[in-house]
């Protein structure tokens, strides 16, 4: 299964790299500038995109998950009244073009997270650069009482890390796709859990009006024996599937979706997801972003 996923990811990456070359050859006059709006926002459901706002832009995000849709059905209004809701509030600031830093707080595990995102290469209209390449990383601090970390508590036990490489392509005015690969690490985990995980994912936007799009993502934590500390995978994290609707203006973006991940911090999504979409284990969620220029 892992081999199939790896081969599929490689194939998608090659498709992104080569997909626009034929179209570019047919154009007679092309400005060699970055493509406009490959995605409407810097975040697509749970995944980062290659988009970074212009320099000196402040971005506010509110990300919310209701409880499990399948827990008690209509009794808790399909998750809206259910326990287990999660929320994150974050602020990002673009220091210079292509470099963004951010900070956020999350309800689950009382996380505080610090993040950085840098666009290495941007896709151009002439297709001289056929894709955008972006690096993203964060460090999250578990803010719960120290008693939950056991008798041998150290402050470093609170830390977890996430790093990701994102390759994206805008094919035309209505279709943008991206693939990613990531590495997650927790300094402290329960016995029989792994400290590390590698994941791959794909996400995309299908635009059907000037302001509206269908959005989706599928992220898979890989089971790699060479980095596992246990015989077999006793507590494997399950893939995250999400699909939703996006409405966007110049400074506002609104996304509503269903997702199998209750975690919002990405390392939680890749290492602690026990929800199976095929069993109806998904959450209704939404994301709101707002931009201010300075």
Q: Give the list of residues 6+ apart from residue 192 with CB closer than 8 angstroms, or none.
A: 230, 234, 235
CA neighbor of 199 nearest in space, from 168, 159, 240: 240
Alpha-carbon distance of 167 to 178, in angstroms, equals 5
Give me the pLDDT at residue 241, please. Answer: 95
104-141 per-position pLDDT tens digit = 999 999 999 999 999 999 999 999 999 999 999 999 99
- Residue 91 Cα distances to 61, 80, 234, angstroms: 6, 25, 36
Domains of the chain: 2-293 (2.40.160.40)
Residue-level pLDDT at 58: 97
CB distance 232 to 207 below 8 Å: no
How far apart, in whole angstroms, are the C-alpha atoms of residue 184 and residue 140?
11
**Residue 45 and residue 242 in contact, taking contact as beta carbons nearer than 8 Å:** yes
First to last CA, the chain: 48
Burial 194-220 (b: 16+ CB within 10 A, else e): beebbbbbbbbbebeeeeebebbbbbb
DSSP code, position 110 = G
Residues of the chain with pLDDT under 70: 1-31, 231-234
Alpha carbons 281 and 78: distance in angstroms, whole number: 11
- pTM, rounded to two decimals: 0.86
Cα distances from 285 to residues 77, 191, 217, in angstroms, run: 14, 31, 14
Q: What is the pLDDT of residue 187?
A: 95
């Amino acid at each position: 299964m892992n081999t199939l996923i790896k081969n599929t990811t490689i194939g998608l990456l090659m498709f992104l790299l080569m997909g626009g070359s034929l179209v570019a050859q047919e154009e007679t006059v092309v400005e060699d500038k970055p493509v406009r709006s490959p995605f409407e926002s810097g975040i697509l459901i749970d995944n980062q995109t290659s988009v970074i706002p212009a320099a000196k832009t402040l971005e506010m995000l509110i990300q919310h998950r209701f409880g499990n849709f399948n827990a008690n059905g209509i009794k808790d209004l399909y998750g809206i009244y259910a326990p287990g809701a999660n929320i994150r509030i974050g602020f990002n600031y673009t220091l210079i073009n292509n470099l963004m830093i951010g900070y956020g707080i999350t309800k689950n595990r009382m996380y505080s997270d610090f993040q950085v995102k840098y666009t290495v290469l941007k896709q151009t209209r002439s297709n001289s650069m056929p894709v955008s390449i972006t690096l993203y990383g964060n460090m999250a601090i578990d803010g719960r009482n120290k008693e939950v970390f056991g008798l041998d508590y150290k402050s470093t036990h609170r830390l977890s890390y996430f790093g990701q490489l994102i390759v994206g392509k805008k094919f035309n005015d209505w279709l943008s796709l991206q693939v990613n690969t990531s590495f997650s690490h927790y300094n402290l985990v329960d016995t029989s859990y792994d400290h590390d995980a590698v994941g791959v994912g794909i996400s995309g936007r299908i635009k059907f009006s000037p302001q509206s799009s269908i959005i989706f993502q599928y992220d898979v934590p890989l089971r790699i024996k060479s980095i596992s500390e246990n015989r077999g995978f006793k507590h494997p994290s399950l893939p995250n599937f999400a699909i939703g609707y996006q409405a966007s203006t110049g400074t506002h973006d609104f996304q509503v979706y269903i997702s199998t991940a209750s975690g919002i911090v990405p390392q939680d999504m890749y290492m602690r997801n026990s929800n199976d979409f095929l069993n109806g284990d998904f959450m209704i969620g939404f994301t709101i972003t707002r931009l201010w220029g300075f």
